[in-house]
Each structure stands twice: as C-alpha cells, then as structure tokens.
Amino acid sequence: MKVCEIFTSIQGESSLAGIPMVFVRLTGCNLRCSYCDTKYAYYEGEELSINKVLEKIHSFPFQYVEITGGEPLLQDETYKLINELVKSHNVLIETNGSIPIEKVNPEVKIIMDIKTPGSGMSEKNYIENLRFLKKIDEVKFVLTNRDDYEWAKNFIKNHEIKANEILFSPAYGILNPAELAKWLINDGISVRLNLQIHKYIFGNIRGV
C-alpha cells in the first residue's frame, strides 16, 4: 500500500480530540476540496507492506490509531490493514464520504465527511453511505461560510443520520470559529463544534 506518512500526534478533531494516537496517512485522493490542508498526500508516499505498517504502529505506545489520507478507502489494502489493527488497537478511519463504507470493519469508528458547497465537492457525496453508519460513527461538515452552515442545517433536517456525533467544523483560517459558535448557540443546533485543535497547538504544519 502507498503510505504518505506515519506519525504520532494529539487527535485534533472529533469526540476524541485531545487523545494522543498514531496516524497513518495514506496516499491518494479522488477529491480536490477548496480548503484541503494535505495536498502533499495526493501523490507523496512510498509503497510499504501491511506488515511494515503494522510494525511501525506497534513501535508506538498508543492504543488509538487513525487511518486517514488523502482518501484511505481508495486502496484495497486498507481493509486488510484495519482488520489486523482491530485485534490490538482502537481504530478510527477518516473518509471523505464519496467512497462506499459498507465494507469497513464494524469495530472501526468511521469519521465521515459530508461535503458542503464551499468545498466545491458537494456533488461527490455518496448519500447511500448514511445507511451504513453506526451509532459509534461521526459525521463531519466542514463549513466555509454562512451558506455552508445553512446547507448543513438543512441536510441534517432532511436526512436520517444514525451516528451519535454530528460535527460542524469551521474551515481553518477561512471561517471564524466564534461566528460559527454564535450561529449554533442562537439556533439551538444539537451538534458538536469541531475545532482542529492540533493546528491551534502546533500550527499548520505536517507530521504533528
């Protein structure tokens, strides 16, 4: 499988924000979101065997592992990797929501994007994925402006989302988190404000 990087950091997003864990960033993405902060993962990386990846993961002391990208579900080997990892770790996978998720091991927490118009990729949402979400999964909307916010509000009103956590995330450096917080408070929306806290801790640099 083609791996962009394997590193340890603080989880910056989701309901697990603040927990130290191992990140496996896989190479390749089928989308080109306007606010993408990991463009280097489109192409950079090296071919590693699943055993090599597992060996690197096991060299770290952390119980949590997140598989991310790019878009990790583009690679068939991803399923084999996570099926091995769930034997020893708590596993998360971040996916952009355009690839079917039904083959993902049910022990894995899926954090799935639903792309808003501001991303430029909202027509790529694979809506059928909503059928395969579990209670432990999380759905994330990255918002660039008020129009994205209203779009996301309408989406959750008009679709059944079985995941316990719905995340509204201000695009870093584009939408002021204070503005989004005010909108959520004023509208009484039962979602989680999702800041990328690793960026506030370390800055917008890779590998942390």
Binding residues for [4Fe-4S] cluster: 29, 33, 36
Give the residue numbers of the binding site for S-adenosyl-L-methionine: 35-37, 70
Q: What are phi and psi of 56, to 5 degrees?
A: -65, -45
Give the residue numbers of the binding site: 10-12, 25, 29, 33, 35-38, 68, 70
Locate 71 and state its tokens: 């878009």
As a whole number of Å, the CA-based R_g of the chain is: 16
197 contacts 208 by C-beta, under 8 angstroms: no
SS3 for 97-141, per residue? Answer: CCCCCCCCCCCCEEEEECCCHHHCCHHHCCHHHHHHCCCCCEEEE
